[in-house]
Amino acid sequence: MSTKTKMFLPLIVLAVMWFIPAPEGLSSNAWHFLAVFLAVVVGLIVEPVPAALVGFTGISFVAVLGLVGNAKESISWALSGFSNSVIWLIFAAFMFALGYKKTGLGKRVSLIMVKYMGKSSLGLGYAVAFSDLVLAPFMPSNTARSAGTIYPVASNIPLIFNSTPENEPRKLGAYISWVAIAATCVTSSMFLTALAPNLLAVDLINQGTGHTISWGAWAGIMLPIMIPLFLLTPWLVYVIYPPTQKQSPEAPAWAAEELKQLGKITPKEILMASLAVVALVLWIFGSNFGINSTTAAIAVVSIMVLSNVITWDDVISNKAAFNVLIWFASLVAMAAGLKKVGILTWIGNAAEVHLAGMTPTMLILSMLVLFFILHYFFASTTAHTTALMPIFLAIAMKLMSPEDMVPFSILLAGSLGVMGIITPYATGPSPIWYGAGYISQARWWALGAIFGALYLVFILIGAFIFI
Round to whole Å and give the CA distance between 462 and 457.
9
pLDDT in tens, 298-323: 999 999 999 999 999 999 998 888 98
CA 457 to chain centre: 19
Is pLDDT above 80 for 324?
Answer: yes
Rounded (10°) angle between helices 196-209 and 381-399 = 30
**CB-based contact 3:48 (threshold 8 Å):** yes
Exposure b/e, 308-338, CB count within 10 A at least 16 = b? ebbeeebbeebeebeebbbbbbbbbbbbbbb
- Show Cβ contacts of residue 107 under 8 Å, excluding neighbours closer than 6 positions: 149, 152, 153, 262
How far, in Å, are 85, 87, 197, 281 from residue 293 at the CA level?
A: 9, 11, 17, 10
Backbone angles phi, psi at 110, to 5 degrees: -60, -45
- Quote the pLDDT of residue 413: 97
The β-bridge partners of 247 are 120
- Quote the pLDDT of residue 421: 95
pLDDT in tens, 331-390: 888 888 888 888 888 887 777 777 777 888 898 999 999 999 999 888 778 889 988 999
Backbone angles phi, psi at 138, to 5 degrees: -110, -5
How far, in Å, are 11, 114, 231 from residue 377 at the CA level?
A: 19, 36, 29
DSSP letters for 58-123: HHHHHHHHTTTSSHHHHHHHHHGGGG-HHHHHHHHHHHHHHHHHHHTHHHHHHHHHHHHHTTBHHH
- Quote the pLDDT of residue 25: 86
H or E, element range at 42: helix 28-46
Round to whole Å and give the CA distance between 463 and 217.
15
Mean pLDDT estimate for the chain: 90
Taking residues 430-440, report their average pLDDT: 90
pLDDT-derived band at 231, boundaries 50, 70, 90: very high
Round to whole Å and give the CA distance between 230 and 187.
7
- Quote the pLDDT of residue 211: 92
pLDDT in tens, 56-70: 999 999 999 999 989
Taking residues 81-109, report their average pLDDT: 86
Is pLDDT above 80 for 187?
Answer: yes
Looking at residue 402, its amino acid is P
What percentage of residues in the chain have a pLDDT greater than 70? 100
**CB-based contact 175:120 (threshold 8 Å):** no
Model pTM score: 0.85
Is pLDDT above 80 for 266?
Answer: yes
Exposure b/e, 389-407, CB count within 10 A at least 16 = b? bbbbbbbbbbbbeeebbbb
CA atoms within 13 A on the CB side of 217: 14
CA 164 to chain centre: 29
Is pLDDT above 90 for 236?
Answer: yes
- Quote the pLDDT of residue 199: 92
